[in-house]
Amino acid sequence: MPLKDSKLAFLIISSLMIISPITWASDNDNRYITVTGHGKISAIPDTAWVTGGVHTQAKTATKALNDNNTLMEAVIGVLKKANIKNKNIQTSGFNVHPIYDHSNRKDYGKPNSPRITGYRVSNSITVKIINTNNLGKLLDELVNSGSNQISGIRFGFNDNQELLDEARKRAISNAQKKAKLYAQTAGVDVGNIISISELGARLPQPVYRNMEMHQAKTMSDASMVPVVSGEQVISASVNVIYELMNRGD
């Protein structure tokens, strides 16, 4: 073969070696589409968590503590009567604080020198109430028994797994619907699922409402407390990768 022809052949073979991998990749690489699906479900809460307690004060710590214990026993008695199990009653706070007088009267000693005039005892419990139908009545009975503070009410679900799974199913359906819409618009079909990853799930956030002593006293003087739990939303999001196929494949 002449030298000129050999050079030409070498250039052609070299060009094919460079071009052919790109052509092969174009013909054989799989095509994918990635979509994010969202799903949510609304439901009425079936469980409430209530934090309540007893505040007492007296000139001596012993008297304040004894008064507090007496009232707290009555509060727990109401819970027992309502068939609330021990495992659903938990002490969430206990404090004993001296009460100081900061007045500037001379007969108290040095000017601005505080003196202890009494003691305040606080004891609080958090209660899980699975049956919320009688929650208003129970709150009323707690206040009447001696609980002079309701510091938080939160609604939720005793077991949210079933609801969360339903939200996940809806998220997958939403992702599939999106993928088909995009694929059909682009003139292709959706193939097999390549991967699924959960982006996260959102459970209802607790909303606390405080009720101080004078408000609790007002409750005890009023009729049964109206309590409305409303609906709560559980949601989930997923990331799904689908294979794309030519129509008819």
Lowest-pLDDT range, 64-73, 138-147, 225-234?
225-234
Is residue 21 one of the residues assigned to a domain? Answer: no
In this prediction, residue 114 carries a pLDDT of: 77
Whether 105 shows a pLDDT value over 50: the answer reads yes
Q: Count of domains in the chain?
A: 2
Span 138-147, average pLDDT = 89
In this prediction, residue 150 carries a pLDDT of: 82
- Is the domain of 96 the same as that of 179? no
Which of the two residues, 231 and 214, has the higher pLDDT score? 231
In this prediction, residue 213 carries a pLDDT of: 41
Whether 130 shows a pLDDT value over 50: the answer reads yes
- Is the domain of 132 the same as that of 184? no
| Domain end among 137, 156, 175 | 156
> Which structural domain, as residue segments, surrounds residue 199?
29-45+158-218+230-249
Contact 55, 120 (CB under 8 A): yes
Is residue 12 one of the residues assigned to a domain? Answer: no
Is residue 7 one of the residues assigned to a domain? Answer: no
Distance CA 139, CA 218 (A): 12
For residue 18, name the pLDDT band (cuts at 50, 70, 90): very low
How long, in residues, is the chain?
249
Whether 109 shows a pLDDT value over 70: the answer reads no
Whether 200 shows a pLDDT value over 50: the answer reads yes
- Is the domain of 180 the same as that of 240? yes
- Is the domain of 207 the same as that of 246? yes
In this prediction, residue 201 carries a pLDDT of: 85
Lowest-pLDDT range, 6-15, 48-57, 124-133, 237-246?
6-15
Query: Which residues are CB-neighbours of 241 under 8 A, at least 6 positions away?
Result: 32, 33, 34, 193, 194, 195, 196
Of all residues in the chain, what percent carry a pLDDT higher than 90? 50
Span 135-158, average pLDDT = 86
Q: Is 108 exposed, middle or buried (0-12, 13-18, 19+ CB in 10 A)?
A: middle
Is residue 245 one of the residues assigned to a domain? Answer: yes
Helices (H), the chain: 3-28, 61-81, 135-145, 161-186, 213-221
Span 233-240, average pLDDT = 95
Whether 203 shows a pLDDT value over 50: the answer reads yes
| Domain end among 119, 135, 156 | 156
Q: Which strands make up the sheet holding 149-156, listed edge to edge?
A: 89-101, 115-129, 47-58, 149-156
Encode pLDDT of 31-74 as tens digits: 899 999 999 999 988 888 999 899 999 999 999 999 999 999 99
Whether 12 shows a pLDDT value over 70: the answer reads no
Query: Which residues are CB-neighbours of 123 under 8 A, at least 6 positions away?
Result: 53, 54, 68, 69, 72, 91, 93, 94
